[in-house]
Amino acid sequence: MAEPVLRAESLDVRAGTATDLASVSFSVEPVGLTALIGPDAWDKDTLVAVLQGRRRPARGTLRLAGRPITGMTPDARVRQGLAWTTRPLLRFATTTLIDALALAIHALRTPSPLDFWRLRPSRPSTYAALALLDRVGLADCADAAPDSLNEARRARLDIARALAARPRLLIADRITEDVSPSASRELASLLHSLAQAGPAVLWIEDDAMLALETADQVVVLVDGRALVPSAAGREASEQALDAAFLGRSR
């Protein structure tokens, strides 16, 4: 059996005497879409901060592709193969989608920050940017300004920017926020298709039913603890929703 791309084991996160997360354990498989849901936004935000390296757990371990990353900085985690979306997306009012994305790719692949500011994106970076825009469904507006995009297309650009790092695991954090129901379903479908081809995707989502209907695996945070349903399909979805949002299990 393949090693999980991410394994969290017994994570405790405390703020003073308060416990934000308690013994949180779950894993993300190398292929497939894993959704993280739960009624408390603070629980999810705390776990994302721990995964990104912005908060340190008081206890427990994190492994990315089998390698310990618990004590690593955010930048070091990116170098190890972790990437995440950023909402709100940084705005580039005076450039095009392809230029903005090519610049991001160029920055990731340029060893010196000084060289980054001196040089324009290379032709390979531009080709790579176009390929990423095509992968997320934005090839038809490559020459548009990022600020001209609606929220759904901004989310797609955000995903493309994160994919530019060529991660092992992409954390897609609330990409359907402020997006219409139909566009949210399209974004969920995009994440699912990306996760089948790679990289693996951990999707943080407030719309529990959408996540449960789309994801291959579900992690539910309830009162700072993780519940991972052992079955698949509608029955598991209903059990997870009951446990997370109604406070009971079947």
226: in domain: yes
User: CATH code at 220?
Assistant: 3.40.50.300
State the pLDDT confidence band at 107, using cuts at 50, 70 and 90. Answer: confident
Beta bridge partners, 36, equal 204, 219
130: in domain: yes
Q: Which range (112-116, 191-195, 226-230) has the least confidence?
A: 112-116
Greater model confidence, 2 or 216? 216
101: in domain: yes
24: in domain: yes
% of the chain at pLDDT higher than 70: 82
> 103-116: b or e for each residue (b if 16 or more CB lie within 10 Å)?
bbbbebbbeeeeee
Given 119, 146, 166, the domain boundary residue is: 166
Q: State the helix-helix crossing angle for 97-108 and 123-135, rounded to 10 degrees.
A: 120
| Mean pLDDT of the 39-55 span | 91
* Residue 204: C-alpha distances to residues 35, 107, 149, 188, 220 (Å): 6, 27, 22, 11, 10
State whether 23 and 42 are in the same domain. Answer: yes
Given 166, 181, 196, the domain boundary residue is: 166
Total count of domains within the chain:
2
Closest by alpha carbon to 200, among 212, 192, 188?
192
State whether 175 and 135 are in the same domain. Answer: no
State whether 249 and 192 are in the same domain. Answer: yes
State whether 121 and 221 are in the same domain. Answer: no
Given 166, 190, 217, the domain boundary residue is: 166
State whether 161 and 173 are in the same domain. Answer: no
190: in domain: yes
Residues 30-41: tens digit of each pLDDT: 989 999 998 888
Q: Please check the confidence at residue 111 and state whether its pLDDT lies above 60.
A: no
| Mean pLDDT of the 163-168 span | 91
> Distance (Å, rounded) from C-alpha 110 to C-alpha 125?
11
State whether 190 and 70 are in the same domain. Answer: yes
State whether 70 and 125 are in the same domain. Answer: no
State whether 212 and 113 are in the same domain. Answer: no
State the pLDDT confidence band at 146, using cuts at 50, 70 and 90. Answer: confident
Q: Please check the confidence at residue 95 and state whether its pLDDT lies above 90.
A: no
State the pLDDT confidence band at 175, using cuts at 50, 70 and 90. Answer: very high
State whether 68 and 127 are in the same domain. Answer: no
State residue 229's pLDDT score. Answer: 61
State the pLDDT confidence band at 249, using cuts at 50, 70 and 90. Answer: very low
% of the chain at pLDDT higher than 90: 49
188: in domain: yes
Residues 54-72: tens digit of each pLDDT: 999 999 999 999 999 999 9
State the pLDDT confidence band at 248, using cuts at 50, 70 and 90. Answer: very low
State the pLDDT confidence band at 188, using cuts at 50, 70 and 90. Answer: very high
Q: Which range (8-12, 45-49, 100-104, 198-202) has the least confidence?
A: 100-104
State whether 154 and 211 are in the same domain. Answer: no
Q: What does pLDDT average to over the chain?
A: 84
Q: Please check the confidence at residue 119 and state whether its pLDDT lies above 90.
A: no
Closest by alpha carbon to 64, among 9, 7, 11?
7
State the pLDDT confidence band at 5, using cuts at 50, 70 and 90. Answer: very high
| Mean pLDDT of the 12-41 span | 89
86: in domain: no
Please state the pTM of the whole predicted model. Answer: 0.86
SS (H, E, C) 139-205: HHHCCCCHHHCCHHHHHHHHHHHHHCCCCCEEEEECCCCCCCHHHHHHHHHHHHHHHHHCCEEEEEC
State whether 98 and 117 are in the same domain. Answer: yes
Placement of tokens 């402020």 in the chain: 178
Domain that holds residue 13: 1-81+167-250
State whether 121 and 158 are in the same domain. Answer: yes
87: in domain: no
> Distance (Å, rounded) from C-alpha 10 to C-alpha 18?
17
